Structure 1
Amino acid sequence: MIKSDQILPKHVVIQSEGNIVSDMGNEKVMLNIKNGKYYNLGEIGGEIWESISKPTEVNNLVNHIVKKYDVQTDKCEEEVISFLENLYQESLIKLVVGE
């Protein structure tokens, strides 16, 4: 596992264990078993969450979101990395060595 203050496009991320995720309308909500907190991932956050069920390079994740939601790559990268950093701070995802 990698320790990082900032997630980079070349990093590989994966979901941490111990989360229960449910669909509520078009959005995903999650309960973290360890800390007892609920999280509303939203629609695009839910898409990101589903995409990182297996080790995924951030670049590939950004490309997937750009194609699906027709957003500019640099803006998407900024938003995706910000979202992932929030998940990382809450220990909801892990950074791993490229697979």
Structure 2
Amino acid sequence: MVVLNAKEGKYYSLVLSGRDLWERLAEPVQVSALCADLAAVYAADPQDIERETLEFLAYLHSAGLIRVC
């Protein structure tokens, strides 16, 4: 999946879990609910999922691709 930041003209490539996370952001969601959903799908330590999710959300926010409320 490729995401375009039209304002800056930059493209971002998302694969596997990044794509899944992006699709879950179609509607506003609390981070705790997002992490719980991902933990239900992926067989990984919930703390690892939370850490990696927060890192990825911070990246998306710094790239101007999401708003954090």
Does TM, scored on the shorter chain, surpass 0.5? yes
The one of 36, 61, 74 aligned to 2:9: 36
Is residue 2:47 matched to residue 1:65?
no
TM-score (norm: length of structure 2): 0.93
Tell me what 2:57 maps to: 84
Higher relative helix content: 2
Unaligned runs of 5+ residues in structure 1 are 1-27
Report the Cα distance in structure 2 between the residues aligned to 1:30 and 1:90, rounded to whole angstroms: 11
* Count of residues paired in the alignment: 69
Which amino acid letter does the alignment assign opposite residue 41 of structure 1? L
Higher relative strand content: 1
Q: State the Cα deviation string for residues 18-71 of structure 1 (Å, max 9, x = none).
A: xxxxxxxxxx21111111111011111111111111110001111111111111
Tell me what 2:28 maps to: 55
- Structure 1's consecutive aligned runs of 4 or more residues displaced over 2 angstroms after TM superposition are none
Root mean square deviation of aligned Cα? 0.8
Residue identity over aligned pairs, in percent, reads 33
Report the Cα distance in structure 2 between the residues aligned to 1:92 and 1:39, rounded to whole angstroms: 9
Unaligned runs of 5+ residues in structure 2 are none
